[in-house]
């Protein structure tokens, strides 16, 4: 789960937090993204498995996977509440929790917490597992 630090306020289209998952990236990907100067096509490529989350400072964003279905799918939670508008079921290979922070004044921060014992919010649905736990239990997300 992501713990959002100070400096985040949900607002217009360009200053919202985006969260979701990402596929494995190579250094070439990051070099191309850095050289794109925020071009819309590069941003779309970098965030295609992410969605806008109207998060503010001190909010918590959870990313979980449901392996009980025939095909696994990923869901987002904001402060323990299921975000119904986000449902990701079409992905291949390994995925990793990802977050996109708005540039704003450069003070935006988020901390990734991977130990379930340190989560502020447990998944409200038993079928959803944290991504790390899901893969550790032998679940296939390929």
* Residue 74, domain member (yes or no): yes
* Residue 6, domain member (yes or no): yes
* Residue 102, domain member (yes or no): yes
* Residue 115, domain member (yes or no): yes
* Residue 141, domain member (yes or no): no
DSSP state of 140: -
Q: Would you state the structure tokens that stand for residue 20, as one six-digit string?
A: 């979701």
* Residue 142, domain member (yes or no): no
Q: Report how many domains make up the chain.
A: 1
Structural domain span for residue 79: 2-136
At 138 the three-state DSSP class reads coil
Average pLDDT, stretch 5-16? 66
Residue 87's pLDDT is 72
* Residue 107, domain member (yes or no): yes
Integer Cα distance of 25 and 85 in angstroms: 26
Greater confidence (134 vs 84) lies with 84
Residue range 81-91, pLDDT digits in tens: 888 777 777 66
Average pLDDT, stretch 64-90? 79
């Amino acid at each position: 789960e992501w713990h959002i630090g100070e400096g985040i306020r949900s607002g217009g289209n360009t200053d919202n937090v985006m969260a979701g998952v990402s596929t494995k990236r190579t250094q070439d990907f990051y070099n191309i993204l850095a050289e794109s100067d925020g071009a819309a096509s590069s941003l779309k490529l970098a965030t295609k498995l992410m969605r806008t989350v109207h998060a503010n400072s001190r909010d918590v964003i959870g990313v979980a996977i449901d392996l009980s279905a025939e095909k696994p799918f990923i869901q987002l939670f904001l402060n323990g509440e299921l975000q119904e508008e986000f449902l990701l079921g079409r992905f291949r290979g390994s995925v990793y929790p990802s977050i996109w922070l708005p540039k704003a004044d450069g003070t935006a921060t988020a901390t990734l917490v991977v130990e379930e014992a340190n989560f502020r919010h447990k998944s409200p649905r038993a079928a959803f597992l944290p991504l790390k736990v899901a893969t550790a239990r032998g679940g296939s997300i390929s």
